[in-house]
Structure 1
Amino acid sequence: MFKRRSARLLVALIAVIAPVVAGTPALAQDTTFNPAAGGATSDRVAASTPAILTPGCGYLIYSFAVQKFVSANLSQSDYPLQASATDAGPWERFCLVKVSGLNGDWAILSQANNKYVSARADLPNHPLQARAQNVGSFEKFYIRQLISGQYSFLSGAGGDFVSARADLPTYPLHARGAEEGAWERFYIGLN
C-alpha cells in the first residue's frame, strides 16, 4: 500500500514539474484570458494569467490600478499606449517577443499596427508608443513577475517602471515609475 501511494505521489509530482522544466506553463487546463467569466475583474484576470510567459501573440495587458485593458490608440499620432479599454478588441492585442541579451528582455509588438512599443526616453516622462519598425534600446523591456500573477515592466531605455496613471486613465502609459506601486502592476493574459 505504501508503494502504491508513493508511486501515485511521484506521478502527480512529475506531471506538475515536467512542464516547468520543459519551459511551458504548468497551469490548470484553461489559460484563456477572459475577464467576463464572473467575480471581480482583477481576480478573473489574475486567474487566467500564465505562470511563465512564452513568446507569442494574442496577449492582453490589463492595468491593476486603472482596471482597464491597455490599448495601442491608433486614432492618435504616434499610437500611444493607454489603459483605457473596457473590452478587448484588436487594439488591445500584443505579441511578446524574446530579445537576445538578458534573460528577462522582451519586446512588445502591437498586433493592431504591427509596430513595436517604444518607451521614448528622448521625450519627457518616456511615453509608451507603438511606433517602431525594429527593436532598439527604446523597445526593450524587462518583464518581472510579482505576486498573484501580476507583472511589472522595466524600460530598457531609461530604467524606470511603466506606469498607468489611475488618476488619468486616458493619459498614455509612461516609463517613469521609480518603484513598483499599484500604478506599475499589470496582468498579462492570453486570449
Structure 2
Amino acid sequence: MCILEEIGFTPEQYMDLHSMGMRDFEIAKNELDVSLETLLLWKVKHGVGKKTKRPIHYFTVDEYKERREKGMHEREIAREFGFSNEYDYYAYKDSIGIPKQKQVIERTPELIAQIEKYHKQGLKQKEIAEKLDVKMCAATVGNIMREFGIKEKQAYRIERTPELIGKIKSYLDLGMTTRQIAKNLKFSQGLVSIIIREEGLR
C-alpha cells in the first residue's frame, strides 16, 4: 500500500484538484507532500488521468474572452474546448481573429505581499487567486509562490516537538486513522503520514 492509499487520497479528490488548474507536480508537492513519482504511480494503479478524446468545440471570440477574464491559461482553454493539438488551437484562434497573446504578470512588491499575506492566513492557491487584485489562475499563484520562496514544503515547516509526536502516537494507540488525526491536528493527511513514517510511530 502506497502512502496516498494510506492517507485515503481518492481519484475524486485528485480530479477536484486537477479541475482547479493544478498540475501533477503541484498536487504532489503542495497538497500531498509526496514526490511526483509517487503520485504518478498512484495514478497508474487507479487508472486516473487516462486520456479520452473529446469532440472539439469551435468556440467564439466571446467564449474565448470569457475564459481569459477568468484567468485561464491558453493550454487550459484549449483543453476545455477539446483541442489536443496546440498548432490546431492557435490556427483556429487566428482564423477567428484572435492573435496569439502572452500574458505576463508583473511580479510587483504589492502582488507578492498580497500573496504572502493570504498564504499566512492559510488560504489555498485557488482561494488566493480569487482574492488577488490581478486576475490569475491557481497555477500561476503557485508558480509565483515558488519563485519567491513563499511556500516551503509543509513537512519541514512544522516543528516536530515531543508534545506533537506524543499526541500523534496517542491518537494511533486509540486506533485513529491518518485522516482523523489530520483533522484533529488541522494538518494535511500527507503531512501526518510523513511524520508517522519518519518518526517510526508504526
Normalising by structure 2, report the TM-score.
Answer: 0.23
**Larger RCO of the pair (alpha carbons < 8 Å, separation 6+):** 2
Normalising by structure 1, report the TM-score.
Answer: 0.23
Which of these two proteins has the greater Rg computed from alpha carbons? Answer: 2
Counting helix residues as a fraction of each chain, which structure ranks higher? 2
